[in-house]
Amino acid sequence: MKALDEAGLLRVIDAPVNKDTEMHPLVRWQFRGGIPESERKAFLFTNVTDSLGRHYDMPVLVGGLSATAEIYSVGMGVPVEEIGAVWDRAIANPVEPVTVTGAACQEVIVTGDDLRGEGKGLDALPVPISTPGYDSAPYLTATLVTTRNPETGTQNMGMYRAGLKAPDRLALRMVARPGGAEGALHWELWKKRGEKMPVAIVLGAPPAVVYTSPQKLRVGQEEMHVAGGIAGAPIRQVKCVTNDIMVPAEAEIVVEGLVDIEYLEPEAPFAESHGYVALEDFNTIVEVTAITRKKNAVFNSIISQLTPSESSVVKRVAYEPLFMAHLRDHLGIKGIRKVYLHEPLTNLRCVVFLVFERGVPTTEIWRALYGTASRQTIIGKYVIALNEDIDPENADAVFWSLAYRANPALDVEILKHRRRYGTRDPRTGTDDSTLLIDATLKADMPPVALPKREYMEGAKVLWEKLGLPPLKPEAPWFGYSLGDWDDRWDAMAQRAVEGNYLENGRRSAQLRRNDVAPNTSIRDVLGDDW
C-alpha cells in the first residue's frame, strides 16, 4: 500500500462507507464508468460500516492487487513489460519456502466459542457484498484457498469463492469440472479416505504469493514455490494453529477449517465473472476452526464478476505472456507478435486474438490457432488470427479484418466437444465448440484508404491550434501500404499534393485505348510497361 501510495495509485477514503451497499458499487464505477484503465486506482476504506449500523476497526483494501496492469507491476516489483519473463523464470525455477514460528499472521488467534455468535468469528470481519441486490451474502473474494493432497503431500492454492453462512461456517465453491480446481481433486481424495479435508483460506499476503492463486499451474506444482521464484527468495511460511496446512507467515488473515466430505450445502446466488448471476448449486461446507490475523490487519477484497474487473486484470497480465511463451517457445510458432485475451464482458476465456507479422505461412497461423485452442480447457471459444496493423482492442478494426481478409469457406474451422464456460446451453449441456478464424492478409492489398501519416499529423497540429475538442486517435488513423502499391502511383500522389495533378492527366491521356471495357485494371492490359 505504501508503494501504491507513492506511485499515486491509491485513494484513501476516510468517509463512512457501507460495505453491504456502497463499497463495491463505488469501486465498480471505475470499471464501468468510461474511465481508462490507466486512471483506475486502488481504494483503501478506513471507516467501514454495515447495514446493521456496525463499525469495523479493520480497513478494507479494494483494487490493491490488480485494478490496473501498473498496480499489478508494483506488486510484482518489475515493469509491466517484464512480467511475462518473470513468470516464465519463476515457473521454471521455483524456490522452496522456509518454515518459521511466531509469525505475524498469528498475532491474534480466535478459536472455540469466540468463533460463534453474531458479531464474532467471520461475522466480525468487514467482508463486503460484491453485488448488492443479487448476492445472497458477503463472500471472500481474494482468497488463497490452501489444501493438501493426502497422497503426495503437495499443497495447492486456488482463488475460490467462499460465501459466509454463519460466524463459523463457509460455503466453498471449488470448480469440479475437468481442468477446474485442484482443490476439488484434493477433496475427492480426502473423501475416499473418509476424512474431512483440512483447509486454510488466506486473505492478504505478499503479492508474489497472491498472484499465483488464480494462475493455472500444472497439477502438483506448488504456488508457494513459484512465488519464491517470483520474489527471488524463499517465502516465509508457518503451520496453521488447528491443522497442518502451511500458510504465508506475512498473511493478513487466515481462516482455518475442515471441509465436510459427507454433506454439501446450497451456495449462491452470487454474480459471476462470465457476466451473469450464478444461481444456487450444492457446494462444499467449511467448518471454521480458527481465525488468525495480524494485530493491524487489512482486509483485502477484489472486484470480480462482470469484466473488466480486478480479477480479470490479474489473469490477463499473467495469462497473455504464458500463452505467448506456449506458442513461441514450446510450439516454435514463427512470426507471432502478441496474444491478446479479450477482457471486456467476455472474461478473457472466450475470445483470443493472435497477432502476427506480415508474410507468415498459413501453416504457422493454423498451428497457432490449434495450439491456442488446446492450451487450456476453457480458454479459446473464438480464436482469431490478425496482422499487427489491426488493433485487437478496436472491434471496428477487427470487423474490418474479418470483412476483407477472411473467406469463411477457406479461413474458418469449427472444433466440437469443447468444455463450456459460463451459463449452460439447454441444447448441449456442458458441451461447447471452438471457432478458429484466420483473418490475416493472404496476399498484398492496396493501401489503407486514409491520408498518409505526415498529412494526418499536420492536420492534428492545425486541429489543436484551432482549439477544437481533444482528439483520441483510433487505429488506423493514417494510411499505410499493404504491399500492393507502385512507385509510379506514389509519384502521382506526390504531384497531386504539390498542386500538379494536371501533369497526371496529361500522362494518362497518352494511354487512351479503345479496346478495353470499363473497370479493366491497367496492369491487366499493360503489365509492367505502363
Task: Give all domains of the chain, ordered by start, each with its CATH number.
Answer: 2-301 (2.30.110.10), 331-438 (3.40.1670.10), 486-529 (no CATH)
pLDDT at residue number 390: 96
pLDDT at residue number 418: 85
pLDDT at residue number 430: 80
Query: If you average pLDDT over every residue of the chain, what do you get?
Result: 94
Confidence of residue 274 (pLDDT cuts 50, 70, 90): confident
Can you read off the three cell numbers belonging to residue 72?
Answer: 499489478
Indicate the pairing of strand 236-239 with strand 246-248. antiparallel
Q: How many residues appear in the chain?
A: 530
Encode pLDDT of 301-323 as tens digits: 999 989 999 989 988 998 898 89
pTM (2 d.p.): 0.88
Encode pLDDT of 280-295 as tens digits: 999 999 999 999 999 9
List strands edge to edge, sheet with 236-239: 98-99, 236-239, 246-248
DSSP result, 131-167: STTT-SS-EE-SEEEEEE-TTT--EEEE--EEEEEET
DSSP result, 330-359: IS--SSEEEEEE--TTTTTTSEEEEEE-TT
pLDDT at residue number 275: 86
Q: Is the pLDDT of residue 195 over 90?
A: yes
Encode pLDDT of 2-47 as tens digits: 999 999 999 999 999 999 999 999 999 999 999 999 999 999 999 9
Cβ(259)–Cβ(291) below 8 Å? no
What is the distance between the alpha carbons of residues 228 and 285, in angstroms, rounded to a whole number?
31
